[in-house]
Amino acid sequence: MRGQPLALVLMVMVMAVLTPAGAGARAADGRPQRVAFFVNGALGDKSFFDSAARGLRQAKADLHLATRTIEGGYDPTRWESGLVDLADSGDFPIIVTGTYTMGPLVQKVAPDYPDVTFILFDGVVDYAHCACHNVYSMRFRQNEGGYLAGVLAAGLMRTGAIPGAAPGLVGLVGAMPIPVINDFAAGYVAGAQDAAPGITVLRQFANSFSDPAMGKEIAKAQYGQGAGVIFQVAGATGQGVIEAAEETGRYVIGVDSDQAALYRVSSPRRAARILTSVMKNVDTAILRALRLWQQGRLPLGRTESLGLKEGAIGLADNPDAALTVPPAVRAAVAAARQRIIDGTLTVPTAFAGGRP
């Protein structure tokens, strides 16, 4: 996340000059091909965008692409023009961007720039209603990760291993009731119900991705009611949930990136409260897409759905909390994971019409 744009531009320029001949994909003039990553927000969210940026960095190292990250900020009115500027500049044969909100914008812009390839992660365009032959979109089955989190949380509650917590209660703190977060939640509720039928899932949204104080207030309310584990799907707001877990001596499940790793050095006590994180491996998914593109095998004009089976969703391993989770609960999570991968278990989703 040392994403100072200037440094990045410089690095891109240096890369362009120094990359040894014969490495990776090149344009006709022998220079590495340029990839733009448009962030509709800012890096440093400790989860989603940072993971994507990791993927881009990996792509730069492994695939010898010249990458450039453009942070569009949190003002939605600037996103479309930012995207158009990138496509119109002609500097980038391929543009990577993500999130559900960017879907309609890509759908609007892509047909005007047929020579530019768009990779849209965690969002979709409506291929039936646009000439988007140049768009590859990938969707994540985050409900599968949410399901495992639910099995873990409810399983742990059932063992009664958490002092002071009510056995029939787990919590969920979301940032906003948008489809992706609802999808996490749908899986979580289903997983909790399957692991402990009749369990109550407290659910509350903070209405912000960047208000940790609100996140903490909500988490305290849920822990106060007796929830032993809270699954937070709230971006930076979730850091408040993690603080509340530390203060109340209860547990939290992180999201998108391995959030325990963040605190392992600065605050081991806090890290020990994070049972695991539902990883949305945006980084590996983007790397994979760029590799396919380089090989000319990227399935343009369609949506791919990525989940546990593809390794795009998974649970992080937090050694600090390992002792907290009894082997039986661990086994239940592993079994659920296997059943989802085998296809014998279908996790409910919040998206209309299910999965592609």
Partner 1 sequence: MNLDLVATGTAAAVVAAATLRAATPILFASLGGLISELAGCINVALEGVMLVAAFAGVITSAYSTLWFPDAPLWLHPWLGCAAGLLAGTALAGLLAVFHLELGADLIVAGIGLNILAQGLTVLLMAHLTGDKGSTASLASFALPSLRWPGIGAVPVLGVLLNGDEDTGHNVLVYVAMAATGLIAWALRHTVFGLRLRATGENAEAALAAGLPVRRLRYAGLLLSGLLASGGGVFLGMGYLTLFQADMAAGRGYLALAAVFLGGRRPLGTVVAALVFGAASVTAARLGQLAVPAEVVFMIPPLVTIAALVLVKQHQRLATRRRAAAGRAALLSP
Summarize as ranges the residues that interact with partner 1 (CB under 8 A). Answer: 1-4, 42-46, 50, 176-177, 202-205, 207-208, 210-214, 216-218, 220-222, 224-225, 236, 239-240, 243, 247-248, 262-263, 265-267
Question: Which segments within 10-134 are labelled E, that is strand?
Answer: 34-39, 66-71, 94-98, 117-121
In the complex, minimum distance from the CB of residue 14 to partner 1, in angstroms, rounded to a whole number: 20
Residue number with CB closer to partner 1 (220 or 302): 220
Residue number with CB closer to partner 1 (80 or 247): 247
* Residue 7 neighbours by CB distance under 10 Å: 10
Cβ-contact 222, 204 below 8 angstroms: yes
Q: Which two structure tokens, joined as six digits, stand for 284? A: 């590996």
In the complex, minimum distance from the CB of residue 73 to partner 1, in angstroms, rounded to a whole number: 10
In the complex, minimum distance from the CB of residue 128 to partner 1, in angstroms, rounded to a whole number: 30
Cβ-contact 38, 92 below 8 angstroms: no
In the complex, minimum distance from the CB of residue 334 to partner 1, in angstroms, rounded to a whole number: 30
Residue number with CB closer to partner 1 (176 or 341): 176
Report CA 80 to chain centroid distance, whole Å: 22
Residue number with CB closer to partner 1 (117 or 204): 204
In the complex, minimum distance from the CB of residue 312 to partner 1, in angstroms, rounded to a whole number: 23
CA-CA distance, 269 to 213, in Å (whole number)? Answer: 20
Residue number with CB closer to partner 1 (42 or 300): 42
Q: Which two structure tokens, joined as six digits, stand for 289? A: 């897409």
Distances (CA, A) of 52 to 58, 82, 203, 284: 10, 18, 28, 8
Residue number with CB closer to partner 1 (47 or 303): 47
Find, among 55, 39, 54, the residue nearest to 99 by Cα.
39
In the complex, minimum distance from the CB of residue 254 to partner 1, in angstroms, rounded to a whole number: 11
